[in-house]
Structure 1
Amino acid sequence: MMTKLAAADGHQFECWIEPAVGNRRGGIVILQEIFGITDQLKGVARRYAQLGYEIAIPALFDRKQPGAVIPFDQALRGRDMMLASDLSETMADVEAAVDHLKANGGKVAVIGFCWGGGLAIRAAQKLEIGGAVAFYGTRLPQYLDRPLKAPVLGHFGTTDDHVPPEMLEQAKAYLPELEVHMYEAGHAFANDARPAYVPEAADLAHARTEAFLQRVL
């Protein structure tokens, strides 16, 4: 269900909440690609809710265009909105979602995809969370300015043109605790609604993520 949350600066934004199925084991904030709260992302939320986690997906584009959901074939529109976003404001919205889940008890982790994958690393640097998972996180150089406060698991494709090998190596050198797994795939390999989807890689990445979450939450 969609609810409204407020960031520390007073900004109100929509947030998709997926209740935990069965005994609640903690919370997970899922951070979007450059497309908003898509039906595909809600499917990811259902997947992790089945494991007993309460899920929150904050609408990180609400500061620019409330309710914006960008079709997958209009990536440039989503990219422009992402580039227009202010990192500190975006992280205030992420923190509000983390705090919302924390208020319901238990530890909270952050999982992000693409733009959200980079933001998940930032969350592990700035917020009080149990851990973070970055699926092909982008814009990595802008996060190489402070150490990690929480463990981070990273999933990257060997042919991802958004995250070239030298960018990933730079990130691993700066953040040596980063646990990185590589997959024979390109960008967005875990998005089952896009042509880039690689089922074997996605399944393995989600299995590793589930084990990581059990450990950190």
Structure 2
Amino acid sequence: MGSSIDIRARDGSGSFSGYLAVPASGSGPGLILAQEIFGVNANIRDIADYYAEEGYVVLAPDLFWRQQPRVELGYSPEDFAQAFGLYQGFDQDKGIEDIAAAIATLKGRPEVKGGIGVLGFCLGARLAYLAACRCPVDIAIGYYGMGIEQHLHEAEGIRGRLVLHFAGQDEYCPAEAREAIYRHFEHNDAAELYLYPGVDHAFARAGSPHYHKPSALMAHQRSVSALRRAIGPHYDLSALWDKHCEYEFDTRNVDDTMATMVAEPYVNHIPTMTGGVGYQQLYRFYKHHFVDNNPPDTKLTPISRTIGDTQIVDELIFSFTHSREIDWLLPGVAPTGRYVEIPLLAVVKFRGDKLYHEHIYWDQASLLVQVGLLDPTGLPVAGRETAAKLLDESLPSNTLMARWQQSEGKD
């Protein structure tokens, strides 16, 4: 997605390279991506592309250029030894000056519309923090930074938002260092500090031995939410989701449906594990097993919608007559002709102005009861009553609890 550009150093000592990634829209707020000790390698470029997909114009400057231009290291023991040597020889103050030069370059780009943020990992996290202290940025985000506690005296220079992610088992930022940082920012409403218990340094780097996907996903959502609030961009996620559903259930157009999604999306219907990962598999799923697979009277009745910075959670009643085999919902089950109503929950994640994934939940037991495949007698399951009670909370509760009557009148 990206390209290499030149950045002129502020001290007149020359120029250095930076990897620039631009969103598909062609413009967006600016984001400086501060590298780890391994240089602007494939991982950093992937992260830059990732945030460009979120809607940002991302610039990852080569901060080791004064020692060795265009460093790109992997994660072998040999590479780590070389990276650590570069880190030891790194002039941090010059590095912040180079970030300031990258900020000025980014601000001068015609693609940049809006504010500027800085995002960094490991060494880059400390540099992001220091950039917030010394440079005109609207937001700084750091993942498992080391040495930040040694620079808390500079925090008074921060004018924008600060977001720091800490790993609970990180030897490079131990508990006493985190506690000092927490104490310093305890009453600062512009600072967001998050701890991820049980995970280690580099928990957000895919491929790392310490990679922990749940923590990485949570941290990314928090980071993008903070970026959205500080510098944008702002999208009408509700309208985007409504348009996607229109193509799925009303016009039933697979190509239009896929056009609302990122280049490599995925869908996971949790109870039946149906859907698809990646464009080709999801297109196949939509075309042959979903869009034209739903009964003619399929209806979605909205109950509630929660709209966040990066995702939507929809609460619905999903109703239909089981007049055909529904591959994604009741795979392998011949039509029963029965009418069904089930509560359904959709968690819909976006990247920028495109859908990234859908996690869809429903009560499969209630569905099986309604089509006659599960006898509810003696089981803690219900049929259409679950949908009815969602619409009318005054209907009886606890009807499946045999011991409910025993508690009546008790304190």
User: 1:154-198, CA deviations, whole angstroms, 9 ceiling, x for partnerless residues?
Assistant: 111111111001001112223443311111310000000321111
What are the within-5 Å matches in structure 2 for residues 31-46 of structure 1? 31-46=34-49
User: Which of 18, 28, 31 matches 1:28?
Assistant: 31
Contact 1:58 1:97 (8 Å CA) reproduced: yes
1:3 is aligned to 2:5: yes
SS at match of 2:57: strand
Residue 203 (structure 2) pairs with residue 179 (structure 1) = no
Residues 40-59 of structure 1 aligned to structure 2 (within 5 Å) = 40-59=43-62
> Between Structure 1 and Structure 2, which shows a larger proportion of strand residues?
2
Aligned residues: 217
Matching residue's letter, 2:205 = N
Does residue 208 in structure 1 map to residue 213 in structure 2? Answer: no
Task: Please state how far the C-alpha of 1:46 moved relative to its aligned partner.
Answer: 1.1
Counterpart of 2:192, as a letter, is E
- What is the one-letter code of the residue matched to 1:35? F
Task: Report if aligned partners of 1:126, 1:149 keep a CA contact under 8 Å in 2.
Answer: no
**23 and 157 in structure 1: CA distance in 2 versus 1, 3 angstrom threshold:** same
* Counterparts of 1:23 and 1:81, CA distance in 2: 35
| Contact 1:115 1:137 survives alignment (8 Å) | yes
Deviation at 1:16, TM superposition (A): 0.4
What do residues 99-139 of structure 1 show as CA deviations (whole Å, max 9, x unaligned)? 11212342110000000001100011011011000001112
- 1:157 maps to 167
> Which residue of structure 1 aligns with residue 93 of structure 2?
88
Normalised TM-score (structure 2): 0.51
Q: What residue is the counterpart of 1:135 in the other structure?
A: 143
Contact 2:139 2:230 in 1 (8 A): yes
Give the Å deviation of 1:35: 0.2
Gaps of 5+ in 1: none
**Larger relative contact order (Cα-Cα within 8 Å, sequence gap ≥ 6):** 1
Amino acid in structure 1 at the alignment position of 2:17: E
Letter in 2 for 1:137: G
Q: Distance in 2 between matches of 1:7 and 1:150?
A: 24
2:42, 2:72 within 8 Å by CA — same for their partners in 1?
A: no
CA RMSD of superposed structures (Å) = 1.3
8 Å contact kept, 1:5–1:12: yes
TM-score (norm 1): 0.95
Query: Comparing 139-148 with 47-56, which one deviates more in the overlay?
Result: 139-148
Q: How many angstroms does 1:24 deviate by?
A: 2.4
Superposition deviation, residue 23 in structure 1: 5.5
Unaligned runs of 5+ in 2: 232-411
1:51-130 correspondence runs (5 A): 51-73=54-76, 74-104=79-109, 105-130=113-138
Identity of aligned residues (%): 29
